[in-house]
Amino acid sequence: MATITIDGQKIEARGNNVLEVALDAEIYIPHLCRHPQLEASSEVHSMREVYVGGVPHKGEPGMPFEGCGLCLVQIDGREGLHKSCHTPIEDGMVVITDSPEVKKARQERLKALLESHPHACLLCAQSDGCDRINCSSNIPEPERCCDNFGKCELQKVAQFIGTEMGLPPYKPLNFPILEDEPLLVRDYNLCIGCLRCVRVCRDVKGSDALGFVVEDGRVVVGSKAPTLRESGCQFCGFCIEVCPTGALKDTVTGVGERENFLVPCKSSCPAGTDVPRYVRYLKEGRPEEALKVIYEKLPIPETLGRVCFHPCETDCRRSQIDAPVAICALKRAAADMGGGFSPVPQDIRKTGKSVAVIGSGPAGLTAAFYLSLMGHSVTVFESLPEPGGMLRVGIPDYRLPREVLDREIRLIQ
């Protein structure tokens, strides 16, 4: 393994380039276009035309993307400054990340980025206690801190680099805020042209719906066709996940756990089943794994795959694009195809405690199953001659064949 020195610290280099090695050794070098899910070597070239809100923006095609230029370092024995994300490791290399030249060059680059990006959030003395709605500094609304404040990578990078050198006045780009397509809100006034979104869409998602042009010397990102839908966007949200600013957002926001409103299938399932995980396993052709995920929360997947009223589908965000994912039918598919997997482990340690469960409907059966997995001795009391509660007496046989219900109850017994 190569050994290099960064800021006087000798390091066994784990990583392909100086930036990766420094971050692995917990030496921070500011960066914006690099992202752990994206290959540092992934190249992007400008297009002839992209669209922002249906309006074409044009530029010279085929120009390589130069990068954010913030990750500059000095390498002992080499002229000038180097982008650490593109500098391969060499044994014995000596790297300096915080010389006055490096700091000055980063500040200049940051100033250029912030010329067309609102930056009140970086300068306002009251920003920390601000409610983001009423501006006590009377900053015009488009220039105020956006609602990414506090979780914005650009803001953190700018705070690290520092703004003592002063920032240029903000020159608004006046792009419209794009809210008319499903699931995504795009505000390219906040875009810094890092192209993470373009690369994740092409290299990770495989949709290749986005591109960029260089217009008046500035990177303009947009969709390849007038709308995202026409560009082949799958509305997966990967671009939102990687965007380091507030330029890309989900249409829904909410209080509490982000997952609750971004993954409503899971939060609306009364059992809290991890729907995305088992759907993904099914997509990968792994029904047994899918069934294991379902059994984490539900002991009657064959039954519920037939009769659940699926509130998850009602809330599925895919319905904003075309139709909800057929989650209930997929549960049944997992149960039908994932055979061979036994949900009952062999080595349950008995607790010596006894639990009585009143009623053998779906709730009673579920409670009994998981209590016995915890090692308790469970007795279910049922007033009807056979177990199953409403599953047996409230649902006709053609919807829930009795042999399916009996099989799942036997497994619980």
Binding site residues, ligand SF4, CB under 6 A: 117-118, 121, 145-146, 148-149, 152, 154-155, 184, 190-197, 200-201, 205, 207, 209-210, 221, 228, 233-239, 242-248
Residue 378: contacted member of ligand FES, ligand SF4, none (CB under 5 to 8 Å, by partner type): none
Residue 357: contacted member of ligand FES, ligand SF4, none (CB under 5 to 8 Å, by partner type): none
31 binds ligand FES (CB under 6 A): yes
Indicate the residue among 34 and 331 with the shorter CB distance to ligand FES.
Answer: 34
* Segment near ligand FES (CB under 6 A); pick from 27-35, 116-124, 258-266, 342-350: 27-35
* Burial label, 5 (beta-carbon count in 10 A; 0-12, 13-18, 19+): middle
* Burial label, 340 (beta-carbon count in 10 A; 0-12, 13-18, 19+): exposed
Phi, psi of 347 (to 5 degrees): -110, 55
List the structure tokens of 277: 């995980």
What b/e readout covers 163-188, taking b as 16+ CB neighbours within 10 angstroms? eeeebeebeebebeebeebebbbbbb
Q: How far is the CB of 30 from ligand FES (least distance, A)?
A: 8
Which string of x and - marks every residue 49-88 that binds ligand FES (by CB under 6 A)? ------------------xxxxx-----------x-x---
CA pair distance 359, 247, nearest whole angstrom? 53
Residue 235: contacted member of ligand SF4, ligand FES, none (CB under 5 to 8 Å, by partner type): ligand SF4
Indicate the residue among 232 and 270 with the shorter CB distance to ligand SF4.
Answer: 232
CA pair distance 313, 322, nearest whole angstrom? 12
Phi, psi of 377 (to 5 degrees): -95, 115
Tell me, what amino acid is at 182?
A: P
Residue 35: contacted member of ligand SF4, ligand FES, none (CB under 5 to 8 Å, by partner type): none
196 binds ligand FES (CB under 6 A): no
What does the DSSP 8-state code read for residue 132? S
34 binds ligand FES (CB under 6 A): yes
105 binds ligand FES (CB under 6 A): no
118 binds ligand FES (CB under 6 A): no
Residue 130: contacted member of ligand FES, ligand SF4, none (CB under 5 to 8 Å, by partner type): none
Q: How far is the CB of 198 from ligand SF4 (least distance, A)?
A: 7
CA pair distance 299, 33, nearest whole angstrom? 46
Residue from 18, 21, 23, 32 that binds ligand FES (CB under 6 A)? 32
Dihedral angle over CA of 245, 247, 249, 254, nearest 10: 60
List the structure tokens of 110: 């940051």
Phi, psi of 100 (to 5 degrees): -55, -35
Q: How far is the CB of 83 from ligand FES (least distance, A)?
A: 5
What does the DSSP 8-state code read for residue 318? G
Q: Which of 348, 344, 331 is nearest to 404 (CA)?
A: 331
CA distances from 282 to 270, 296, 303, 330, 331 (A): 21, 16, 18, 8, 9
Chain length of the chain? 413
Indicate the residue among 69 and 387 with the shorter CB distance to ligand FES.
Answer: 69
Indicate the residue among 67 and 338 with the shorter CB distance to ligand FES.
Answer: 67
Indicate the residue among 197 and 404 with the shorter CB distance to ligand FES.
Answer: 197
Given the rule CB under 6 A, which residues bind ligand FES? 31-34, 67-71, 83, 85
